[in-house]
């Protein structure tokens, strides 16, 4: 997989990894337990509740 900032789900286009070939690919990002990007598509508004740690209140 080659990093192409133009295909990233971000408004920022600056990446120190631009053009580099990597052995893997990001398929999801999370913020405060909510999936924000899934398979390259923005996931907003959040469709599922955030995960919580066991025993947290």
Q: Is the pLDDT at 8 greater than 80, yes or no?
A: no
- Answer yes or no: is 53 within a domain: no
- Give the integer Cα–Cα distance in Å for 47 and 14: 29
For 14, residues 6+ apart whose C-beta sits below 8 A from its C-beta are 5
DSSP codes joined into one string, the chain:
-B--GGGSSSS----TTTT-B-S----EEEETTEEEEETTEE--S-SSPPP--TT--
pLDDT single digits (tens) 18-38: 999 999 988 888 888 888 888
- pLDDT value for 15: 87
- Answer yes or no: is 55 within a domain: no
- Answer yes or no: is 48 within a domain: no
| Structural domain total, the chain | 1
Q: Look up residue 20 and give its two tokens.
A: 């580099």
- pLDDT value for 40: 78
- pLDDT value for 49: 62
Lowest mean pLDDT among 14-18, 42-46, 52-56: 52-56
Please state the rounded mean pLDDT for residues 44-51.
Answer: 64
């Amino acid at each position: 997989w080659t990093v192409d900032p133009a295909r990233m789900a971000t408004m920022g286009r600056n990446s120190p990894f631009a053009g580099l070939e990597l052995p893997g690919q990001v398929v999801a990002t999370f913020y405060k337990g909510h999936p924000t990007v899934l398979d390259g598509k923005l996931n907003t508004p959040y469709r599922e509740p955030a995960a919580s740690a066991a025993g947290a209140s």
